[in-house]
Chain A
């Protein structure tokens, strides 16, 4: 085995990681990029704890670590700011993973959890809970979760015909989403403006209402998904070669697709239940990560997760602090930041291509 590897040679700039039975090959650039983004996220997290109308100095922050800070600082940082900051990172990772999974599964750069109708179904679920008269936070989360999961299940079952085929999944997903969006639009245009605004504010997504409980549940779910991630990445790479090639390489195709869909849906669900449908990160993160890590056509789970966390944390900070005193809806800011950044990357990419052509 070793001899074979030596003869085949390792291309320059690649890195092979081995641990027992498992091995993974990745590029130096990919590893450094992800490390830099992660370090940036951590720095941003620390900085974020000091921002706000009650300014916290670095000394006070250090005092908190040593356990000598006054109760007031503890309350502001640990109970008010930290849940939201941690939520941004956890949810960003989840959305990045979910987007990467769906783009790989459909082999389509527009792939995102919306493909499986989750967002539209969750919105309809919230609309139904509002119509039933429940406006509480927990009821909304439950409505979103039930609506989203039922829709995802319906899309999967309708798309299943001797296996799941990417194209059919996309069409069924579009159709069912359009159907539910029709209902949502009707609701928005029909009901009292306050109720419609209530749903729309939820629909924009916000980290404003997270607390340690919801972050804890989300993190627990994410931890389970992260354990499955390396194996998922390995199989995604093979599935991207096509179903037949993947089967020849020993991947059980249909169970793997189902497992990937479950991972993607679970990652979206944990975010949606706590913070509403935070749009666009799932779509943009894999595309941005691809361009930063230079991974070619393949979708990279780790890179998407890191970019997702950076995007959501950055967007949430801007949403909170850009206009003093007016908190902007996180979801809307996310779209602007993510979209703007993606546009910039694409412009740069097309320039570089012309200069080398």
Chain B
């Protein structure tokens, strides 16, 4: 089993590399792999080389970072809540970020995408902290069901307010509709550098939480019996999800489906061991994001389709096929 899973992991890494290469080569200007290679190693400043180094490298790296963050945070939140309907948004990340952006647009007159980032990130963090505190009754350690319910309820309130703001003001609506269609294209310079530290910390935390999560999957009582420290595991997971999903959403807008779908699909390959699920998700989610981004550049040439839309259009049929083919396994 371990040999098979390791081989699969190598395959997943290769798939990600292939998607990254495609992301560098494909677009309005189609470049052969050797041109991409020379652009990376010996850039001579020609138009095709500049296309790669200026536009596509940054976009690809952002896609990998955001994808990994979404995939890992999705797996973490499903492990924590033991609910197949849970996505990272359930902690209120998307709703909090959206709410903050709506406030910024409606009341502070913020118009540039680069100015959204801090608002979105702070909004995401504030919402998640609020969910965790409310679910725990301000002090105790919250149970998964309560985190889920509070997250959904609080997220709904925030979303309701942002939606009201948007519907009462056509200008706000106009800006919000683009923010909610998440994309990794044309991000302001410095976006990747701004989110990378948070995402790295989040990934390290996720790796630390992987082993306790296997105990969490047994149920609370059994987990305590085998010596897992549930409080720490839960707090670590929530912190990690906040950092990962908050930073990713701040950088790219809402990309909802990746964090939900990839861990589900991965569990059918790896079985229930969360260490493997997290590793696979960290590789396959960015592959899905990059592949969707490449498809999004091609279908409406010369216009592009936002990556958040394509991930759903590509990922949903895949998920349906998988769930029909395999034995459905609950969390």
B17 within 8 A of A: no
Q: Is the CB of B83 within 8 A of A110?
A: yes
Q: Which of A316-335 contact B (CB under 8 A)?
A: 326, 328-329, 331-335
B135 at the interface (CB under 8 A from A): yes
- Determine if B317 and A182 form an interchain contact, defined as CB atoms under 8 angstroms apart: no
User: Is the pair A339, B135 in contact by a Cβ cutoff of 8 Å?
Assistant: no
Q: Please tell me which one of the listed residues A183, A188, A340, A346 contacts residue B146 in the complex, with CB atoms under 8 A apart.
A: A346
* B153 → A minimal CB distance (Å): 4
Which residues of chain B are within 8 angstroms of A343 by Cβ–Cβ distance?
134, 150, 153-154, 157
Nearest-Cβ distance from residue A32 to partner chain B, whole angstroms: 25
Determine whether B119 belongs to the interface, using a CB cutoff of 8 Å to chain A. Answer: no
Contact with B along A25-69 (1 / 0, CB 8 A): 000000000000000000000000000000000000000000000
A134 in contact (CB, < 8 A): no
A332–B316 Cα gap in the complex (Å)? Answer: 28
Option from B135, B261, B328 in Cβ contact (under 8 Å) with A175: B261
Interface flags, A150-170, vs B, CB<8A=1, else 0:
000000001001000101101
Which among A11-19, A192-200, A301-309 touches the partner chain?
A192-200
Q: Contact between B320 and A200 (Cβ–Cβ < 8 Å)?
A: no
Interface contact A350-B140, CB-CB below 8 Å: yes
- Report B-chain residues with C-beta under 8 Å of the C-beta of A234: none
A182 touches B159 (CB 8 A): no
Q: Indicate with 1 or 0, residue by residue over A127-167, a CB within 8 angstroms of chain B CB atoms.
A: 00000000000000000000000000000001001000101
Query: Is A110's CB under 8 angstroms from B142's CB?
Result: no
CB distance from A354 to the nearest CB of B (A): 6
> Nearest Cβ distance between residue B92 and chain A, in whole angstroms?
11
Query: Is A80 an interface position by the 8 A CB rule?
Result: no
A334 proximity list for chain B (CB < 8 A): 160
Task: Please provide the chain B residues from 142 to 164 with a CB less than 8 Å away from any CB of chain A in the complex.
Answer: 142, 145-146, 148-150, 152-157, 159-161, 163-164
Q: Is B310 an interface residue (CB 8 A)?
A: yes
Q: How far is the CA of A179 from the CA of B137 in the complex (A)?
A: 37
**A189: which of B156, B178, B319, B324 is its contact (CB, 8 Å)?**
B178
Whether A196 pairs with B177 at a CB distance below 8 angstroms is: yes
Instruction: Give the residue name and chain of the A residue nearest to B147 (CB).
Output: A346
The answer, yes or no, to whether B260 is at the interface (CB within 8 Å) is yes
Question: Which residues of chain B (88-122) have a CB below 8 Å from chain A?
Answer: none
A176 within 8 A of B: yes
Answer whether A174 and B260 are a contact pair too, CB < 8 Å, given A108-B85, A336-B161, A354-B140: yes
Which of A82-90, A239-247, A279-287 has 4 or more CB atoms under 8 Å from chain B?
A: A279-287
Of the stretches B168-176, B184-192, B227-235, the one at the interface is B168-176
The reply to whether B323 and A193 form a contact with Cβ atoms under 8 Å apart is no
Question: CB distance A182 to B260 under 8 Å?
Answer: no
Q: Which of A81-101 contact B (CB under 8 A)?
A: none
Residue in A287, A335, A340 whose CB lies within 8 Å of B163: A335
Identify B330's interface contact among A167, A181, A353, CB under 8 A: A167
Establish whether residues B146 and A350, one from each chain, have CB atoms under 8 Å apart when the complex forms.
yes
Interface size class of B (residues with CB under 8 A): 35 or more
Q: A167: shortest Cβ distance to chain B, in Å?
A: 5
A172 within 8 A of B: yes
Whether a CB of chain B sits under 8 angstroms from the CB of A342 is yes
Contact partners of B148 in chain A: CB under 8 A:
109-110
For this complex, into which size category does the number of interface residues on chain A fall? 35 or more
Q: Restricting to B20-74, which residues have a CB under 8 Å from any CB of A?
A: none
Q: Which residues of B contact A168 (CB under 8 A)?
A: 323-324, 328
Q: In residues 293-318 of chain B, which contact A (Cβ within 8 Å)? A: 305-306, 308-313, 315-317
Query: How distant is the Cα of A185 from the Cα of B181 in the complex, in angstroms?
Result: 6
Q: What is the bound-complex CA distance between A295 and B260, given in angstroms?
A: 31
Question: B161 contacts which chain A residues (CB < 8 A)?
Answer: 332, 336
Return the chain A residue nearest B165 by Cβ: A332
The one of B86, B136, B170, B315 in contact with A197, judged by C-beta atoms closer than 8 angstroms, is: B170
Contacts of B256 in A (CB 8 A): 178, 181
- Evaluate contact between B319 and A175: CB separation under 8 angstroms: yes
Asked whether B84 is an interface residue with its Cβ less than 8 Å from the other chain, the reply is yes
**A200 is contacted by which of B159, B166, B313 (Cβ under 8 Å)?**
B166
Q: Which of B85, B139, B145 has the most CB atoms of chain A within a 10 A radius of its CB?
A: B85
CA distance A109 to B144 in the complex (A): 12
Q: Does B274 contact A (CB under 8 A)?
A: no
B157 surroundings in chain A (CB, below 8 A): 335-336, 339-340, 343
**Bound-state Cα–Cα, A287 to B323, Å:** 28
Contact B140 A188 (CB under 8 A): no
Q: Given A109, A178, A347, which contacts B257 in the complex, CB threshold below 8 Å?
A: A178
Q: Which residues of B contact A165 (CB under 8 A)?
A: 328
Q: How far is the CA of A336 from the CA of B145 in the complex (A)?
A: 21
Contact status A335-B156, CB under 8 Å: yes
Are A201 and B167 in contact, with the CB atoms below 8 A?
A: yes
Known contacts: A188-B181, A335-B159. The answer to whether A197 contacts B324 by CB under 8 A is no
Contact A181 B312 (CB under 8 A): yes
Those of A200-243 within 8 Å (CB) of chain B: 200-201, 204
22 A-B contacts, Cβ less than 8 Å apart?
A: A167-B330, A171-B323, A175-B261, A182-B308, A182-B311, A183-B309, A183-B313, A189-B180, A200-B166, A332-B161, A333-B160, A333-B164, A336-B164, A339-B153, A339-B155, A339-B157, A339-B160, A340-B153, A346-B135, A346-B150, A346-B153, A351-B137
Known: A158-B320, A186-B305. 5 other contacts (CB 8 A): A110-B148, A172-B320, A179-B316, A204-B167, A350-B146
List chain B positions with a Cβ less than 8 A from chain A. Answer: 83-86, 134-137, 139-140, 142, 145-146, 148-150, 152-157, 159-161, 163-164, 166-168, 170, 173-174, 177-178, 180-181, 256-257, 260-261, 264, 305-306, 308-313, 315-317, 319-320, 323-324, 328-330
